[in-house]
Structure 1
Amino acid sequence: MNFQFLGFLTVIVGVASLAAPVGWAFSILIVSTVFGSAAAFNLPGLGGASVLVPSLFLLFFALRVFLAFGEQQIFAGLAFPRPGFVLLVLTIFGLVSAIFFPRLFEGVTQTMIVERSIGTRSLIFLQPLHFSSNNITQTVYAIGGLVCFAFTFAFLRRTAAPEAFISAILIVSISNLTFAALDIITYFSHTEYLLDFLHTANYALLTDAEKGGLKRISGTFPEASAFADFTLILFGITASLWLDRIRSRLTGIVASLSLLALIFSTSATALLGLAAILPLLVIRSLAKSRQEPGGGRPVFIVALIVAIPMIVLFIPIFMPEIATNLTEFFDEMVLSKADSDSGRERFMWNAMAYQTFLDTSGLGAGLGSARASSFALVLLSNLGVEGALIFAVFVAVTLVANTKTRLWVSTEASAVARASKVGFLAALATAFTSGTVYDLGLMFYILAGTIAALTSPLPVQAEAVSTERRRYSQQLAMLGGWR
């Protein structure tokens, strides 16, 4: 086990969080998700597989919640018919498939899998199906996602206070934007080595690439598309909070800067994700404006809709050179993407994943056995039709949850639940566009647990939860507050 600097720091922070208010551990967990390519330690026994900083801190968060609230609410989050029950079934199915399917179909088909070498970066090769360290690591990540969901649910159900979530999202968004700016500055000043401590995972790193003369922003992630995936989630959450007038000034600024970061990230994933999320936000804003006159910020939305075509017409007329450069850039990033080396490689991944699905008679090769360039094909090639259907049920149950304000849910909590749904959909949008593995990251499960906790009826008396919330708010006030 090779510990990294951030790994030691994570252990120190984790131990300290055990003695701090439980809300601190939850906030730190959310903030830690920004370290997308920072290994806490590497495991030579698994070919140099990396355990990331957020995965390590998850253990401390789970222990802190257990010490604070016990096991009752943890198991309640996994009870039927909550989304956690479906996720539990999916995780158990994934575990069984990872153990048996690679051996059952060994040599029957070929899959794209990661081959790790200690001291070097991971590479993806086409190999005959066999049990490998990928089955172990993806299973561990799946179990980690289940744990993250259950303990997030437990924390928010007992505290019934979304303040820590909002503050942590703002902190992680600002941190993400700060690291993005540092990524650009260090690249053009030739001081990239200053950020090397953030890129210690045993991944193939594409942190020094350009596209159309622009630096491909990777921030704390291994490549631009991963940065875009994470930033799109944060943009969706903060934009939704802004629409609901939650800490309007700060959420509006952060959402705007995140939008700019996505546009200049030079990631096709970012553009496709925005094409899915922006209409959703506009529709929600207009719907709320009809229900609540003055709500939903209709003036801004209308101005945005009017401004876009005016900008499109203004640039070609008054700035023809910029229009030409933008046209070439858009053609390179989107229209000609399929003809690029990267596009052809990704197409091959999908073709092989689909062939794996067929060769295994629709059962899948087992969790972690195959990679693709779309989460839909990841599900089909790894978990087959059954796993894909279970995942679809989990998504559906999560998204149909009622986010309207009720007696036991504050207006702010309802806004957080709606914002979490937008972030949840953003994660799915990018995953189905370019997701390569089953693991969707801890933020995905934090959002799912948040939605489940803030939208289902309380298992205890509302008065008890209200008292818990007041106690928690008093702790925050004593420590200087989070607002």
Structure 2
Amino acid sequence: MSLELMGLVTALAGLFILAAPVAWAFPFMVFSTLFGAAAAISLPMLGGASILVPNLLLVFFTLRVFMATGEGYMMAALRPQSPGFWLLILTLLGIFSAIYFPRVFEGVTETMKVERVTSSRNVIALSPLRFSASNITQAVYALGGLITFAVSYAYFRHLGKPAYLVTAIIIVATADIGFAIADVVTYFTGTEYLLSFVRTANYALLTAAEKGGLKRISGTFAEASAFSEYTLVLFAIITSLWLDRVRSWATGILTALLLLSLLLSTSATALVGLAIVIPFLWIRSWISSASPFTSGRPVFLAGCLLVIPVALVSIFILFPSVGDQVNEFLDMMLLSKADSQSGKERFLWNAMAYEAFVNTFGIGAGLGSARASSFILVLLSNVGLPGFILFVVFTASILSARQPAPSENGAYIANAAMRAGKCGLIALLIGACTSGTVYDLGLLFYLIAGSIAAISLGRAPIHVPKVVHRDVRQPIDIAEPS
């Protein structure tokens, strides 16, 4: 076990969180999720696995919230009939399956999994089903997700300030754009080593690739698709906030920059995600505009609906070469993707994941036993149909959480934060279903889900002990001993 530089920085940040007001803990935790390829601690004994920066900071985040709230709110997050209860059952199923299923179905099927080649290099290879270090790491990540959900829920039930979610997302979106710019600049100036401190996890790094003459933006992540999945979530949340006129200047600028980052990332995940997320946000804003309690941007949306098609047609007519270049680029990114080496590998992953699901009679091969190129197949091949149903129920219960009544104090910002959070979860699931390879969706998913579950209930009432006042001037009868 070795402590990395980012691990030392994370530990210092964690100590600061313990000493600072509890309100600071959540923004720090959300910010840490940006470092998706930064190892805090390396574990060579577990096949070169890494404890990432967010996972280490989660320990301090949990301690700080526990110091402020105790265990009551955290346990309440997992009570029966609540969204957290379904996540609890899913996590217990996942841990149980990780321990027993690879042994029960050993050799029954083949799966794609990480194989350790050397102490510093792993590869994804097809191998017979057996228990491995991946089962341990994915079970730990699943438990970490459950804890993150419960602690995030406790944080917002205690403070009752949805604005903290808005602030945290704005901060991390700004940093994400900054690292994206730094990634491009360091690539073209030959100074990529300047960002090596945020890429220390034992992952295959694809940070120096080009496509169509553009640098594939990876930011703080190991590859462009991971950057796109993360940035797509931020784009959905920030755009939703802008449509609801929450901090319009900041969210408006960030929306434009995040959209530009996604378009220039040359990631198929980004293009597919935007093709779904943007129409969803457009429809959601129109529906919100019809309500007397919300204020969308119907004029702007109507203008975009009219102006953008006219502008695109005009450009293609006046500059025919532009249309040819765009067509060639889209063909390279999307239409020819299946014929590429990467596309063939991903198809094989999905085929083997489905085969594992069938060969294990729909029960699954165990959490961490199989990889795929779609989160749906990851669920089916790892935790089977029961786990898939539990995840659907959990997600549906979060997305259907009630909005605070408009008459409630602070309801506007709470509603806007909840709508934005739900948009972020939908965007994350779209990205995961497009290219997700493992069960772990990242701690940002559980931070947002826990926030939504808590904000829908508002701040928990503070119980003040009743003080009994007595007139001290009134004489007290004291019986004399007989």
- For 1:138, the equivalent position in structure 2 comes to 138
Task: Tell me whether 1:444 sits opposite 2:417 in the alignment.
Answer: no
Distance 1:121 1:204 in 2: 8
Contact 2:228 / 2:267 at 8 angstroms: preserved in 1? Answer: yes
Q: For 1:84 and 1:116, how far apart are their aligned partners in 2?
A: 35
Q: Partner amino acid for 1:311?
A: A
Number of aligned residues: 463
CA 1:185/1:119 → structure 2, altered by over 3 Å: closer, same or farther? farther
Aligned residues: CA RMSD: 1.4
Q: CA deviation at 1:77?
A: 0.6
Q: Structure 2: how far apart are the matches of 1:86 and 1:119? A: 38
Q: Distance in 1 between matches of 2:321 and 2:111?
A: 46
Aligned to 2:314: 314
1:435 corresponds to which residue? 436
What is the distance in 1 between the residues matched to 2:410 and 2:358? 47
Shift of 1:409: 5.4
Q: What CA distance in whole angstroms lies between the structure 2 residues aligned with 1:29 and 1:121?
A: 29
Structure (1 or 2) with the larger CA radius of gyration? 2
- 1:274 offset after TM fit, Å? 1.0
Q: Deviations over 1:361-415 (max 9, x none)?
A: 1110000000000011000000111110111100111111112435365321221
Alignment partner, residue 4 of structure 1: 4
Query: What 5-or-longer segments of structure 1 have no aligned partner?
Result: 465-483
Deviations 1:112-142 (A, max 9, x none): 0011355423210000000000000000000
Q: Retained in 2: the 8 A contact 1:5–1:40?
A: yes
User: After TM superposition, where is structure 1 displaced by more than 4 Å over at least 4 residues in a row?
Assistant: none
Secondary structure at 1:51 match in 2: strand
Answer whether contact 2:73 2:154 (CA < 8 A) is retained.
yes
Equivalent residue runs for 1:183-222 within 5 Å: 183-222=183-222
CA distance in 2, matches of 1:458, 1:197: 39
Deviation at 1:459? 5.2
Q: By how many angstroms is 1:292 displaced?
A: 3.1
Report what 1:45 is aligned to. Answer: 45
CA–CA distance in structure 2, aligned partners of residues 191 and 244 of structure 1: 40
In the alignment, which residue of structure 1 is the partner of 2:79? 79
Structure 1 range deviating more: 133-142 or 114-123: 114-123
Q: Distance in 2 between matches of 1:354 and 1:409?
A: 47
- Report the alpha carbon displacement of residue 173 of structure 1 after superposing the two structures with TM: 0.3
Q: Specify the alignment match of 2:337 in structure 1.
A: 337
Amino acid aligned to 1:418: R
Q: Percent identity?
A: 54
Aligned to 2:414: 413
Give the aligned partner of residue 246 of structure 1.
Answer: 246
How far 1:232 moved relative to its partner? 0.4
CA distance in 2, matches of 1:121, 1:333: 28
Letter in 2 for 1:237: I
Residue type at the aligned position of 2:62: A
How far, CA to CA, are the matches of 2:157 and 2:387 in structure 1? 29
Q: 1:24-46, CA deviations, whole angstroms, 9 ceiling, x for partnerless residues? A: 11110001111010110110110
**SS of aligned partner of 1:257:** helix
What are the equivalent positions in structure 2 for 1:69-468 lying under 5 Å apart?
Answer: 69-117=69-117, 119-292=119-292, 295-405=295-405, 407=408, 410-456=411-457, 460=461
State the match for 2:473 in structure 1: none
Task: Give 5+ residue unaligned stretches, structure 2.
Answer: 465-482
Whether 1:20 aligns to 2:20 is yes
Contact 2:404 / 2:458 at 8 angstroms: preserved in 1? Answer: no
Which residue in 2 is equivalent to 1:32? 32
2:295 and 2:173 map into 1 onto residues whose CA distance is 25
Deviation at 1:303, TM superposition (A): 1.5
SS of corresponding position for 1:115? strand
Residue type matched to 2:149 in 1? F
User: 1:79 and 1:162 mapped to 2: Cα distance?
Assistant: 22
Distance 1:216 1:403 in 2: 39
What's the CA shift for 1:321? 2.3
- In 2, Cα distance between the equivalents of 1:337 and 1:100? 37
Letter in 2 for 1:440: L
Q: Structure 1 CA distance, aligned partners of 2:358 and 2:284?
A: 40
Alignment deviations for residues 335-373 of structure 1 (CA, whole Å, 9 cap, x no partner): 111111111110000000000011101110000000000
- Write the distance in 2 (CA, Å) between the matches of 1:388 and 1:293: 36
The amino acid that maps onto 1:345 is E
Tell me the SS of whatever aligns to 1:40.
strand
Q: Contact between 1:233 and 1:424, CA under 8 Å: does it hold in 2?
A: yes
Is the Cα–Cα contact under 8 Å of residues 47 and 117 in structure 1 kept in the other structure? no
Query: How many angstroms apart in 2 are the aligned matches of 1:118 and 1:22?
Result: 43
Query: CA, structure 1 residues 294+434, in 2 after alignment: closer, same or farther (shift >3 Å)?
Result: closer
Q: What do the CA deviations read for 1:98-123 (whole angstroms, capped 9, x no partner)?
A: 00000000001000001135542321
Residue 325 to residue 121, structure 1, CA distance change in 2 (3 Å): farther
Quote the offset at 1:3 in angstroms: 1.1
